[in-house]
Amino acid sequence: MREVVIGLLGAGNVGGGVVRILQENQADIERRLGASVRVKKILVRSLERQRDGMVPAELLTTDPRDVLEDPEIRIVVELIGGIEPALTMVLDALGRSKHVVTANKALMATHGEVLFAEAQRRGVAINFEAAVAGGIPILRALREGLASDRIERITGIVNGTCNYILDAMSRTGAAYDDALKDAQSAGFAEADPTLDVEGGDAAQKLSLLALLGFGQRIDPAAIPTEGITRVRPFDIAAADGLGYVIKSLAEARQTPQGPVLSVHPVLVPKEHILATVRGSYNAVLVESRAMGRSLYHGRGAGPMPTGMAVVSDIIELCRHMFAFDAGRPPPEAFSTIEHATPLPMTEQAHENYLCVHVTNVPGILGRVASCLGRHGVSVKRLEQDLRGEGEPVDMVVVTERVPESKVHGAVTEIDGFDDVLAPTHRFRIREPDAID
């Protein structure tokens, strides 16, 4: 039986999951592939650390050359994370004409173009299914299953930490800080959760979804991004009363003027399919011209789901290697990449949820409504707590669909009122024409 030898860069949770899947599913993999996959070396930071018994100690090394320079290793699996030293090591592997599999979303979103060019120059491939949504095969679906279709819109819950926190707040009424601590205790949030809760992780993943879906290279730093740290139990309860749940959505859509991308907390109608995504699960809704809507749902993180996606990429590369071993290179992917900048959010239109924090004094309701009107913001619904005069009031306003620039101008003026006690909380509402 043919054998493919691989090396791993990194043996953390995902690396352990990869080794476990290769061992436990060895017979199934050999039957489906017609070949065996053998791990020869695994790069680690320290040989002293206690590890899962699934990772054989004799395979471990602290010298990257044992993986990168071994001529028998044909596929290098990068599971280090971050930019460096991962970038240097991956470029080294590609430069030695080794195929690469990575789960590194930051690396691919930031330096993907350089890596694709080097892979193409060397006649090898780089696969990165595990970089988005863990075990959900969304990138493969975009690259292969929907390859003949025109992707028009991608909407995803792609960060399990944010979804876990918001779901906990919705189910239990917990404050953000308490829900975050619960997520950290459960292993769904890092000790420093900034990249997740501020939306940076989702922006990197959205950049990769746009690359596969639209064929456009979009810098994650250019994507308008807002985290979930300002979401309060009051907003969760108010949204519930209005018929919505709050979800952190990563959205990309094509327009005649160019792509529109964003990562924001959004009020999603309870009847919408994305409103039902619970806990740390991920889901991606794809809207394409021929297929219509298709949903991809599952665990978005964890050693086994992510490890499964990595092993699937390894198997796919093995098949390409067997097909093209006669001297022909693998099919070119991303040989031409269109650079694109997301359109500014300024003139994008949405319905909006506004919560204005004011002192309950005569005329304040009229002042807020008048200000909105002057800026061309039509009010669809307005609710106000009935409290004693002079006490703080949370005034909830639902606007009609209106351009961002008008909402921004109105909120800026309102926040300057003497009777406003805190910055207005504003969240977009999922567009009615995207519901069904």
Which backbone phi and psi does 169 adopt, to 5 degrees?
-65, -40
Please tell me which residue in 41, 98, 105, 205 is annotated as part of the active site. Answer: 205
Output the DSSP codes for 279-308.
TTEEEEEEEETTTEEEEEEEE--SHHHHHH
* Contacting residues for 350 by C-beta, under 8 A, at least 6 apart: 401, 402, 404, 428, 429, 431
> Residues of 290-325 as b/e, b for ≥16 C-beta within 10 angstroms?
eeeeeebbbbbbbbbbbbbbbbbbbbbbbebbeeee
Which pair of tokens denotes residue 60? 């471990």
Is 247 one of the annotated active-site residues of the chain?
no
Closest CA to 252 of 289, 219, 286: 286
Strand ranges inside 147-220, DSSP E: 151-157, 216-217
148 burial level (CB within 10 Å; 0-12, 13-18, 19+): exposed
**Distance (Å) of CA 419 to CA 361, 368, 382, 384, 398:** 8, 11, 18, 15, 20
Which backbone phi and psi does 229 adopt, to 5 degrees?
-65, -20
Helices (H) and strands (E) in the chain, counts: 14, 18
* Residues designated as active site: 205
